[in-house]
Amino acid sequence: MTEPAIRVENVSMMFHMHSEKIDNLKEYVIRVLRHKVKYTEFWALQDISFEVARGERLGVLGFNGAGKSTLLKVIAGVMKPTTGVVEISGVVAPLLELGAGFDMNYSGRENIFLYGATMGFSRAYIKERYEEIIAFSELKDFIDAPVKNYSSGMRARLGFSIATAVEPEVLIVDEVLSVGDAKFRAKSEKKIQSMFDRGVTVLFVSHNTPQVRKLCNRAILLDHGKIIAQGAADEVCNLYDTMVKK
Amino acid sequence: MFLKELRDYRYLLREIVAKNIKIQYRNSVLGVFWTLLQPLLTTLVLVFIFGKLFKPDPSVINYPIYVLCGRLLYEFYSQSTKRAMRSVTGSASVLKKVRVPKYIYPLSNIISNFITFLISLVVLVGFIVYFSLLKSPSNPPPSLTWYALLSPVPLLVLFLLSTGVGLILSTLAVFFKDVEYLYDVFCLLLFYSTPVFYTLKRLNGDGIMLLCLKANPLYHIVEMFRDCVLRGQLFSYISLLYALGFSLVLLLLGGLLFWKKQDRFILYI
């Protein structure tokens, strides 16, 4: 058996919950002098372990506050877990909130290269895929306009086109399949489907069980920072749906 | 590990440096000419006020060039450190979503400012040529010697100093929002305590005050630069050692602080 694409081992994430957020020096000095820097611990993730094999598509389900977003951020490498390790092999394309790396004053064309570089790709590499990105985003006429003048749908389309054009091996998707209008949505779903066929590993976070059933072959269910169920996507989705009804 | 990461993300570093420079001049009619015009105009103001209304130190060979050297170097230091300070908090939207080495952001801001600073040195060349041709008795031309070739040395030290300070400030700014305001005040203090438009000789302060002014590494860097391009003499190696040592210590401190705290940035930005 080959090594898994994603391996999460005993990951826990603890936050300090300050009763009042101290974000300036004056407050901080006053608090320290009075010995009043108080906080309570909050474990957003507790001892999470799982593996995702290459080409597997894992759905992550859970209610608000269950720790889905935190888990995704830990896996994407944005947050460092308090304890435990995350190992990923291959190029990761985070689709968390598309267009996060855009500079509003920059044109669409310039942003393509900036966004690519943010994901660690060279100018030459992006240049090869440049035409494809523009064609897929359907933004040819607007590509030299600054992104601040784009609509949110246009921005998301551009972000989606870049993130999927670089042929990532691991795709982290946070409910972005609702990008743009119905036409673009159908197109992006097709694109994602073709990436599935190519054997990309997917981590898909959603509340939408029909979508998870359609896209994923396995799922885990998070509740209060713990995995309470994992297995075939259909079974976990059924469990989630019954929990929703309760 | 650090170097490998830097190699992997050199494209990002280059893209952000290019972006910073492009964006700065995008919406101005004169574009990159502002890099030249701004130091020229502010130097003229300083020369007019402190050269005409007050009597400058007669031992200064060429007062306009003296002021320009100080202004250019001080402006690079203050601009680059201020930009670096805001770079991490300003890139929150990216840092929250994508895994990138965070030091790229302060570093790229220092580099892009350094490049515009190097472009602005054209003004200095213009001043030197102008006064060399003019040969006016009140502002004699600077004595250019081979020592002018050493002028990159103080600039390099200044770059190290700004990077160190930039790393420290960008870390502090994540945790304490009011650092930005405090630093603005600090920069004002620094501007007046660095001999940009006056000379230390003319000050009638006591020994302790003089010592405090000389503790400022920027003083040594500016004086070294003036030695190279204005006085045509070799700078004192004590100045070099002090400024370089000071800069390296700050760079080390800044690097350590940034490295130790960077995993917690995400919780605060």
Helix ranges (DSSP H) in B27-151: 33-46, 63-90, 92-95, 104-134
Give the model's pLDDT for residue B236: 94
For chain A, residues classed under CATH 1.10.8 are: 99-167
Give the model's pLDDT for residue B229: 94
Q: Which of A70, A78, A174 to mutate to test the interface with B (most CBs of B within 10 A)?
A: A78
Higher-confidence position of A100 and B57? B57
Residues in contact with B148: Cβ distance below 8 Å, sequence separation at least 6, in sequence order: B228, B229, B232
Strands A83-88 and A57-62: unpaired
Give the model's pLDDT for residue A99: 62
Q: How many residues does chain A have?
A: 246
Give the model's pLDDT for residue A142: 92
Residues B37-89 have pLDDT tens digits of 888 999 999 888 888 888 788 888 899 999 999 999 999 999 999 999 999 99
Give the model's pLDDT for residue B8: 81
Which residues of chain B does A23 touch, with a Cβ-Cβ cutoff of 8 Å? 175-177, 268
Give the model's pLDDT for residue B221: 97
Query: Taking an 8 Å Cβ-Cβ cutoff, which residues of chain B contact chain A?
Result: 8-9, 11-12, 14-16, 19, 22-23, 26, 93-100, 175-179, 182, 263, 266-268
CA atoms of B73 and A181, how far apart (whole Å): 53
Prediction ipTM score:
0.82
Which residues of chain A does B99 touch, with a Cβ-Cβ cutoff of 8 Å? 76-78, 92, 94
Interchain contact, A101 vs B93, CB within 8 Å: yes
* Domain spanning A6-90+205-245: CATH superfamily: P-loop containing nucleotide triphosphate hydrolases (3.40.50.300)
Tokens 């940035």: give the residue.
Answer: B265
Give the model's pLDDT for residue A98: 64
Higher-confidence position of A160 and A35? A160
Give the model's pLDDT for residue B84: 96
From the CA of B115, how many Å to the nearest CA of chain A?
A: 19
With both helix axes pointing from N to C terminus, report the angle between B63-90 and B179-193 in degrees, rounded to the nearest 10. Answer: 170
CA atoms of A81 and A73, how far apart (whole Å): 9
Q: Which of B15, B105, B266 to mutate to test the interface with A (most CBs of A within 10 A)?
A: B15
Which residues of chain B does A118 touch, with a Cβ-Cβ cutoff of 8 Å? 12, 94, 98, 100
Interchain contact, A101 vs B96, CB within 8 Å: no
Amino acid identity for residue A74 in this structure: V
Give the model's pLDDT for residue A246: 77
CA atoms of A53 and A216, how far apart (whole Å): 13
- Which of the four pLDDT bands, split at 50, 70 and 90, describes residue A164? confident
Which residues of chain B does A80 touch, with a Cβ-Cβ cutoff of 8 Å? 263
Of residues A78, A103, A121, nearest to B97 (C-beta): A78
Residues A18-29 have pLDDT tens digits of 766 677 787 778
Give the model's pLDDT for residue A177: 58
Give the model's pLDDT for residue B200: 86
Interchain contact, A100 vs B96, CB within 8 Å: yes
Interchain contact, B11 vs A105, CB within 8 Å: no
The arrangement of strands across the sheet holding A39-52 comes to: A39-52, A6-18, A83-88
A76, two tokens: 């994407």
Average pLDDT, chain A: 84
Amino acid identity for residue B239 in this structure: S
Residues in contact with A245: Cβ distance below 8 Å, sequence separation at least 6, in sequence order: none
B15, two tokens: 């893209």
CA atoms of A210 and A227, how far apart (whole Å): 21
CA atoms of A119 and A117, how far apart (whole Å): 5
CB–CB of B265/B99 below 8 Å?
no
Which among A158, A35, A159 has a CA at the least distance from the CA of A93? A159
From the CA of B110, how many Å to the nearest CA of chain A?
A: 18
From the CA of B33, how many Å to the nearest CA of chain A?
A: 20
- Weakest-pLDDT range from A133-137, A148-152, A175-179, A241-245: A175-179
For chain A, residues classed under CATH 3.40.50.300 are: 6-90+205-245
Q: Domain spanning A99-167 has what CATH number? A: 1.10.8
Residues in contact with A214: Cβ distance below 8 Å, sequence separation at least 6, in sequence order: none
Q: What is the mean pLDDT of each run of 10 residues along chain B (269 residues)?
A: 80 91 78 84 90 82 92 96 95 84 94 94 93 86 90 97 97 92 96 91 80 93 95 94 97 96 87
Judged on CB neighbours under 10 Å (0-12, 13-18, 19+), B264 is: middle
Residues A206-240 have pLDDT tens digits of 878 888 888 888 999 998 889 998 889 888 898 98
Higher-confidence position of A190 and B107? B107
Quick one: average pLDDT of A85-93?
83
- Which of the four pLDDT bands, split at 50, 70 and 90, describes residue A176? low
Q: For chain A, state the CA radius of gyration.
A: 20
Helix ranges (DSSP H) in B135-195: 152-175, 179-193
Which among B247, B248, B190 has a CA at the least distance from the CA of B219? B190
CA atoms of B215 and B213, how far apart (whole Å): 5
The H or E element that residue A107 is part of is none
From the CA of B93, how many Å to the nearest CA of chain A?
A: 6
Whether the per-residue pLDDT at A1 is higher than 60: the answer is no
Whether the per-residue pLDDT at A162 is higher than 90: the answer is no
Residues in contact with A137: Cβ distance below 8 Å, sequence separation at least 6, in sequence order: A154, A157, A158, A160, A161
Give the model's pLDDT for residue B131: 92
Which residues of chain A does B263 touch, with a Cβ-Cβ cutoff of 8 Å? 79-80
Phi/psi for A201 (5° steps) reads -90, 135
